[in-house]
Structure 1
């Protein structure tokens, strides 16, 4: 199955203004945790793979001005949005498993939240290795939904999370791919791979950060595309309301950990 086929199983909205705003906000939130380990220098060629609407590409340009940034995505609708909002990025319509670039042309590759949606992540990682120069680095940020935990537990919210995980798995994705990144990178031919958990631990007694954590996941639930699964979207929206209701709940906590993999070619 190609990345084109993978896109059909994507369960979030695509380019409506609300979804674009959510993705850009999410990118800024995530960059605080994974950005410090992304190093790029002026003049280097950088690929933002699965760039989507260009949200993470914007973060790269903000923090690394002077790089030659390319953004690749299989979905033309998202690339049109990226072109309108981020003219500093050279955009390419491309399947991540069949990149239209020569060997060893990039110094850095960044990718966020792609492998959770694809049935063959190793094919994409092999392509990344092919187009990265020797000594260059490949950075992937991925999910591990097994780490989602609420204190105190909420069976209804957790049931919705489980249902979303099952739906993603049924569409050929893997909501737990973060815990497999080391093995996947090695299978793709990388010998030097560093893995770092990106842990979120929000508590009721740190209301500002707690609100950021809760809001981030509530907005993910609210982004479920009704055109894909109306019943799931309705359940997810109800779960989002319950999540938001936890703000100010004495003793409540939120736990989640994504995974950052940095591999050297």
Structure 2
């Protein structure tokens, strides 16, 4: 049985949310965009601060987009509302709701989307069933998931290695599937998707320039200091405050290293119902 409410264990502190608010439809769901038409209705599940949601609304100017996230993200959704108003995007709205029990009738949306959500929750199969349920026949279901085993970073750093060990240990205790991306098509099959209609693609995110290193390095620094991962690791005695500080210092060393690339692979599912 799924949890009553899915929980995003990275947390939603200001630094983490501000990093997520820099994402766009083009860099996060390009695999979906060619399937969109101007009058579509779209649901963005687990939308966070809504920057992707707002961009999706721009791609369906005669349609409508709904971004939904859990109640704990209410203040984060306010950021999306504010951004949409400031940018004059009127065909988008944000609501609180549970991805395990989406508050919409069957066959409501032309497309249902989630970005980097399924590997953070304890029952991705149930979550995908709900995405399937609210999507109209002929509509599209799209989800992108980081494969946690595809981490490629140079140079190696003891602090960053400790960070990765900490997050993997916490995820394992939470019962999450390691190497999530490569399980995406399996979850879809278990959720009742017809195998012949499941399209899987991959894309690589690469961070090499000073600006790119600052973006991702500051995000992981924030996770090592402020996230639920850090709180849980401290509570369980897996790490000390000094250990968390060494992780943050490791990320800062990587940010400052002009020879430091970082890349990972995302798996992307596109399904026409």
> TM-score, normalised on structure 1?
0.83
Unpaired segments of 5 or more residues in structure 1? 203-208
Aligned residues: 250
What's the CA shift for 1:213?
4.5
SS class of match (1:86): helix
Tell me the equivalent position of 2:204: 199
175 and 80 in structure 1: CA distance in 2 versus 1, 3 angstrom threshold: farther
Tell me the equivalent position of 2:269: 261
Question: Given that residues 39 and 61 in structure 2 are in contact (C-alpha distance below 8 angstroms), is that contact kept between their aligned partners in structure 1?
Answer: no
Corresponding position: 1:139 with 2:142: yes
Cα distance in 1, alignment partners of residues 103 and 139 from structure 2: 18
Cα distance in 1, alignment partners of residues 106 and 134 from structure 2: 4
Cα distance in 2, alignment partners of residues 120 and 64 from structure 1: 30
> Could you say what the CA RMSD is over the residues aligned between the two structures, in angstroms?
2.4
Tell me the equivalent position of 1:37: 32
Tell me the equivalent position of 1:82: 80
Corresponding position: 1:2 with 2:3: yes
175 and 239 in structure 1: CA distance in 2 versus 1, 3 angstrom threshold: farther
Equivalent residue for 1:163, pick from 162, 166, 175: 166
Cα distance per residue 1:40-92 (max 9 Å; x no partner): 21221100111111121122123443321011111323223322332432222
What's the CA shift for 1:233?
4.7
What's the CA shift for 1:156?
3.6
Tell me the equivalent position of 1:123: 126
171 and 55 in structure 1: CA distance in 2 versus 1, 3 angstrom threshold: farther
What's the CA shift for 1:154?
3.4
SS class of match (1:4): coil
Unpaired segments of 5 or more residues in structure 2? 235-240
> TM-score, normalised on structure 2?
0.81
Cα distance in 2, alignment partners of residues 210 and 145 from structure 1: 22
Question: Given that residues 222 and 240 in structure 1 are in contact (C-alpha distance below 8 angstroms), is that contact kept between their aligned partners in structure 2?
Answer: yes
155 and 196 in structure 1: CA distance in 2 versus 1, 3 angstrom threshold: farther
Equivalent residue for 1:239, pick from 250, 257, 260: 250
